[in-house]
Structure 1
């Protein structure tokens, strides 16, 4: 395994300023001074976080690659730990623009307009923690993730998620995946409540429905809508409406 190059070689401009924090300040014309956290002593050239004026946003995490000149970002919300924005770029000025917009509380769409490398995950912000909106945010994140997958069975998994979303009874539940098996909870993260059937996409083009993890003991079908419909028929009568999950 090759040894990564010295960060100062990949990022001489950052090294010249002493830290990623200082380089971001310079790229943002000093406007990020109050928002920047201290770079960790273990990697001042590679890591930084930028606080937001909005309490329902976690600090934006910025990390530099150790193998090529490139920065990645991750912006999430603290209640569920959902990622709202991410992305990577070799343009530090764009990173600074994204960080400034995140700090200033601009909308997710406006952050992307300010820095086009930013990728919206589909999750949206729910400051009041309304369970119905948290459920819809989770669904939108899963739908976008399914559509953007690059695996060979992407189309099959996408069909499964979309078929489940098309069923009102399943759409009203909080969805999540475990090893690419689609499951449902009657509470939101961070504390999930199980008890519903599981849906899975088989590698052979079939769709399974089971009472437990992965095992399709309720049925196997050739189409995703058939599997989703069976899952609805096996939902417990008292499963829902979704309430807020608590730690």
Structure 2
């Protein structure tokens, strides 16, 4: 099936219709949603100008099971698939009204909120730890079928290694490499790991020269550790 983008006028009309549907749903619940920061025919983004907190609703997979994500300071603290649009609206309205994660979960129990997110809410994690938690948290609800089957395994194995966990994870074209500084600035340290669809891994040296293929993620992590410069 070939995807054909909608004409601008049709896309604008579809976005307006979705916005109206959100407003009707909120009104039926006795709630008020803020005006979306961005709006399309299948999604809406909401930004709290005061706190910078973000929330979004996406219906690209199913109108009946919209995806919801709640973000703070660039990190996704809660996400999940609502049972219906009303559930999504309740979650976003509570978050944008300033409710904490526990309170939002009270009105939106479908949301996945990890222990680290509650801890981050109480006392912000450092940038490197937050980068790891943010990326790992996506695996719980994100559609990752297009990724190699061992993509998550690669992340979890690297996260479990204390020396790599001190470095921020960065990905490019399914390849995982490491940065001595947290996002948004990156300073590459050591080599990289690329998962392949046959289950193996490619490990590249830090200068991008030598490439070694290994069968297991343990071997891949060990090679990256060997290639770290002194002091890391």
TM-score (norm 1): 0.66
Larger Rg over CA atoms = 1
Query: How many pairs does the alignment contain?
Result: 222
Structure 2 portions without partners, runs of 5+? none
Assess, with a 3 A threshold, how the Cα gap between structure 1 residues 182 and 222 changes in structure 2: closer, same or farther.
Answer: same
**Is the aligned partner of 1:170 residue 2:167?**
no
Aligned to 2:204: 210
CA contact (8 A) 1:185 1:194 kept: yes
| Deviation for aligned residue 1:120 | 4.7
Instruction: Using the TM superposition, give the Cα deviation of residue 106 of structure 1 relative to its aligned residue in structure 2, in angstroms.
Output: 3.2
Question: Conserved in 2, the CA contact under 8 Å of 1:21 and 1:48?
Answer: no
Distance 2:106 2:152 in 1: 27
TM-score by length of 2: 0.70
CA distance in 2, matches of 1:66, 1:159: 25
Q: Which residue of structure 1 lines up, in the alignment, with residue 28 of structure 2?
A: 27
Q: 1:224 to 1:66 in 2, by over 3 A?
A: closer
Q: Which deviations, in whole Å up to 9, do the C-alpha atoms of 1:170-222 show, x marking residues without a partner?
A: 01111121111111111111111113211122233322221258x68253322
- Shift in alpha-carbon separation, 1:147–1:225, aligned structure 2, 3 A: farther
Q: Give the match's secondary structure for 2:176.
A: strand
- Higher RCO (CA-CA < 8 Å; seq separation 6+): 1
* Inter-CA distance 122–210: structure 2 relative to 1 (3 Å threshold): farther
CA RMSD in angstroms comes to 4.3
Q: Tell me if structure 1 keeps the 8 A contact 2:191–2:224.
A: yes
For 1:36-185, list aligned pairs within 5 A.
36-37=34-35, 47=44, 49=46, 51=48, 55=51, 57-58=53-54, 60-62=55-57, 68=63, 71-78=66-73, 81-89=74-82, 91-120=84-113, 124=117, 126=120, 133-146=126-139, 149-151=144-146, 153-154=148-149, 156-185=150-179
Contact 1:208 1:220 survives alignment (8 Å): yes
